[in-house]
Structure 1
């Protein structure tokens, strides 16, 4: 949006009339955010928030909950004696357990197949660990599954 002098004057007039930013945007054919941004850059007075209420300087008293009177014959509430809480236990620092280091086949010295077998996190989950093809993370059997050659598109068209 190019803000010409006429557009700025129209924005100022609509702003002074008290229109919402959305309404000003509709009337000018621009977005609400464009109106808000330009109004901010022009230091126009802020719009009154529809959420905040006008205060007269004095805070209105909060309504207090009304309690029903206690029926006749009902015993008064019992108050329990207050007891001091027990002293906090003294905590002694404990050495952190040694971190668990998992050995994955692809990081071992001999290159082993990294094809997952089973469901991770379940008992019996493991990696294939057969000898991997040079330069690939899988053994010949799993490499045949992992690396499928794309067919020539011209073959499909015929």
Structure 2
């Protein structure tokens, strides 16, 4: 609601509807009605569910015709990139032996081998000195955290820290292998 001087009476709402259908802007309507802001007019228009309207070229106050708005066209299909993107990263060619093989087998880390089930902890049992590596599906009741002793200043145990913090060179190599 607007303050006591600018409440939306039935009379004011009817005036708003008329001015809105005439094509006036929210600022112009606010000035015409008086004692309401442009944002109050916009809010009331939305609450009333008044339809959007097409803008027509109307003569300006000084008698000169208003400029017609530039019409926008539908977005076209994206243009393909002709030249490769240049960066400061050098990508080594894939060795012929790797390129020739159609399927690359990446090592699979099985969390159940890394720690016995008895060391896994729930979020309520997790302490500051315990490994916070998530194990399992978080939506399932069997979800746990590693719980092994973590290294100082690192949230993971030695085993999981090696997985989480790989050197940059290893990550790049792994990405290249995965792309191939």
Normalising by the residue count of structure 1, what TM-score does the alignment of the two structures yield? Answer: 0.37
Of the two structures, which has the highest relative contact order with CA contacts closer than 8 Å and spacing of 6 or more?
A: 2
Report which of the two structures shows the higher radius of gyration computed on alpha carbons.
1
Higher helix proportion, which one? 2
